[in-house]
Amino acid sequence: MFSINPFAELTLIVPAFFLQLFVVAMVLLIIIGTGLDMLHKKNVVYFFRNASKAKKSAKKELSAGKKTAVILKTVASDIATTSELGFGKRRLAHVLGMYGTILFWIASVVLIFKYSDGVTAPAYIPIIWHVGAIMTCVGGYWFWFFLRVDVSAEAHPWYRIITADLFVLALLACATFGLAWSFSQSIGMTGLSYLFLVLFIFANLTLFGGVYWSKFAHMFYKPGAAIQKNLAEADGSRDNLPPPADAPEQFGLGIKREQPKHY
């Protein structure tokens, strides 16, 4: 199973050009959905206004080198390792899901554009595709069943679904049906593989076509927000918030009664 390029099998009934066109269409859906989301929520306008206000209240002017250092540190820590979640289960689940998705998507693009027209893919690329999908499933299902705030902290049932859940559910459906499609191919169950292929396609349409209604666009906003926050810390503007108090934090003994999980 892990050595199979499922897209190569698909080109026996669908020309590779249509697979590539589908990928391009999904990218366009991301761009359109994110653009509509930006127009509706005015996120970019808010970021620019906030940055302008922060610049006026800055205590010191940062050099280009200092700004670059802050940005690189933010990318390496806040973005690449989601350090804002601290050292714990939530961070591990997010890292698994994030890097699994990245591997899954990159391997999909490589397999479709380079190895779906009769050219045999190196064994490691299908392995990356499968491992990425598995990592996405492990991180995503762990988050969905055990770590969601409204489940773990607010006692809602795990099967309660709201619009904001569209992204994680569609992403999990893509990875799950992709693995099922590949597995059914590997054991020669043609009819079942077609069923999982249809579900895989529908899951992708939901994921990339639902950008406007889901949290997909947050993947683009969060890096910008993290960079702006750290630059504001470095120049002293602190997003117009007061500095931390010098007094020690006093929570009382009650804080030891249970694990901190009320976000």
Q: Is residue 70 part of a domain?
A: no
Task: State the pLDDT at residue 151.
Answer: 61
Q: Is residue 117 part of a domain?
A: yes
d(CA 234, CA 62): 8
Task: State the pLDDT at residue 249.
Answer: 63
Q: Which token pair is 164? A: 């904001």
- Does the structure show a pLDDT above 80 at 117? no
- Does the structure show a pLDDT above 70 at 91? yes
Confidence of residue 84 (pLDDT cuts 50, 70, 90): confident
Q: Is residue 63 part of a domain?
A: no
The model's pTM is 0.81
Q: Is residue 80 part of a domain?
A: no
Q: Is residue 167 part of a domain?
A: yes
Counting the structural domains of the chain, the total is 1
Confidence of residue 257 (pLDDT cuts 50, 70, 90): low
Contacts 24+ apart (CB under 8 A), 216-225: 216/30, 216/33, 216/34, 216/167, 217/33, 217/34, 217/37, 217/38, 220/34, 221/43, 222/79, 223/74, 223/75, 223/78, 223/79, 224/47, 225/47
Q: How many Cα atoms occupy the beta-carbon half-sphere of 146 within 13 Å? A: 11
- Does the structure show a pLDDT above 80 at 201? yes
pLDDT tens for each residue of 145-167 = 887 765 656 666 767 788 878 99
Q: Are 9 and 121 in contact (CB under 8 A)?
A: no
* Mean pLDDT within 209-233: 81
Q: Is residue 121 part of a domain?
A: yes
d(CA 47, CA 37): 14
Range of the domain at 101: 6-41+88-217
pLDDT tens for each residue of 162-198 = 887 899 999 999 999 999 999 999 898 888 999 999 9
Share of the chain above pLDDT 90, in %: 35
Q: Are 101 and 243 in contact (CB under 8 A)?
A: no
